[in-house]
Amino acid sequence: MTTALEINDIHKAFGRHKVLDGFSLRLERGEILGLLGPNGCGKSTVLNIICRLLWPDVGQISLMGQPLNRMNNKDHSLVGFCTQRCALYPDLFPAENLHFFGRIHGLSAQECQQRVAELMRTFSLNTFAETRVGQLSGGWQQRLHLAAALIHQPALLVLDEPTAAVDVEARSGLWRLIEDLRDRGVTILLTSHHLAEAERLCNKVALMRNGKVVVSGSVADLLVRMPGQAVAKVQSEDPETISQRAMLRGWTVRQQAGHIKLFLPQNLDLRDIMEALAGAKLTSLSVQPVSLDDAYLEFIGEDSLIQI
Ligand SMILES: Nc1ncnc2c1ncn2[C@@H]1O[C@H](COP(=O)(O)OP(=O)(O)O)[C@@H](O)[C@H]1O
Ligand SMILES: [Mg+2]
């Protein structure tokens, strides 16, 4: 597998506000990687740098084996960028928007015509051929936005929160389109707030905190690094006793937003857990395999976690 994108130790500050602080990431061709992290942690800044809308203060980036260069316009055509805010022209029709993006990416009039027809068909946009983009629903605008990012068949597709502003039904349509691109081997880097979205679409995720990636790999890789393979969520008026009992068993304990999480070495049944906690009053108890949500909180949600 060859490397599509390699980011090495980049730093970026806006004035005195340090946003990226030693950020590194690697993406192989054909992979789809989800960059996850809290609001304001610098995800869009990373994407803007990859797409050369911003420049890092320090650090190197290479795209398809070539270092990014301020002067080289070819770098632009390697990437298709679906920005967080919709970049379409509301007064134009869908095909006119696609045509515009095709031309700024250097496609000839004839190539443009062919690509626009293809994308209108594959993205089921023909139904809205006569509707001005400003009149389309958010979900259809986002479909068109995605099509526009693909007009020049970029080697890397960059999607900044592609489904953040759309309803549930439109989201599942966009997921199917992205899955289809993934299955056709398009290399994709996306950011998301939806852990379920990352879990469904991505073969790798990178969790970001304090300006850098704190952990990356497949979801399975991340879960193996958790303090347990199953998690019991307990509500109780007596958290002290619960913690003591759990720790006697060697279980890792976390307290979080009104409940206690016990990381178990394997998926125990409720009766075994209740036996281990005997003597403590429980209000509720559930157990499930560890998930990406647990990993997210464990690796980057430290502020909401109090280690006991
Ligand atoms: N052009 C800019 N000038 C000044 N501050 C910026 C600029 N772009 C982003 N920031 C700040 O950098 C931080 C990271 O922003 P951003 O990359 O948009 O985060 P995310 O996409 O993870 O929500 C935020 O605090 C934001 O206010
Ligand atoms: Mg953002």
Mutate-to-test residue for ligand 1 from 11, 12, 14, highest number of ligand atoms within 8 A of CB: 14
**pLDDT tens, position by position, 2-17:** 999 999 999 999 999 9
- Domain spanning 227-289, CATH class: alpha beta
Q: Domains of the chain: which residue ranges?
A: 3-218, 227-289
Residues with CB under 6 A from ligand 1: 14, 19, 37, 39-45
The reported pLDDT for the residue numbered 307 is 41
Q: Is the pLDDT of residue 296 over 50?
A: yes
Tell me how far the alpha carbon of residue 42 lies from the centroid of ligand 1, in angstroms.
Answer: 6
pLDDT band at residue 302 using 50, 70 and 90 as cut-offs = low
Percent of the chain past pLDDT 70, that is, above it, reads 96
Q: Is the pLDDT of residue 226 over 90?
A: yes
The reported pLDDT for the residue numbered 61 is 95
Over range 189-213, report the average pLDDT.
94
Tell me how far the alpha carbon of residue 45 lies from the centroid of ligand 1, in angstroms.
Answer: 6
Take atom 6 of ligand 1 and give the residue whose Cα is closest: 14
**pLDDT tens, position by position, 178-189:** 999 999 999 999
| Domain at 3-218: CATH code | 3.40.50.300
SS3 for the chain is CCEEEEEEEEEEEECCEEEEEEEEEEEECCCEEEEECCCCCCHHHHHHHHCCCCCCCEEEEEECCEECCCCCCHHHHHEEEECCCCCCCCCCCHHHHHHHHHHHCCCCHHHHHHHHHHHHHHCCCHHHCCCCHHHCCHHHHHHHHHHHHCCCCCCEEEEECCCCCCCHHHHHHHHHHHHHHHHCCCEEEEEECCHHHHHHHCCEEEEEECCEEEEEECHHHHHHCCCCCEEEEEECCCHHHHHHHHHHCCCEEEEECCEEEEEECCCCCHHHHHHHCCCCCCCEEEEEECCHHHHHHHHHCHHHCEEC
Tell me how far the alpha carbon of residue 40 lies from the centroid of ligand 1, in angstroms.
Answer: 6
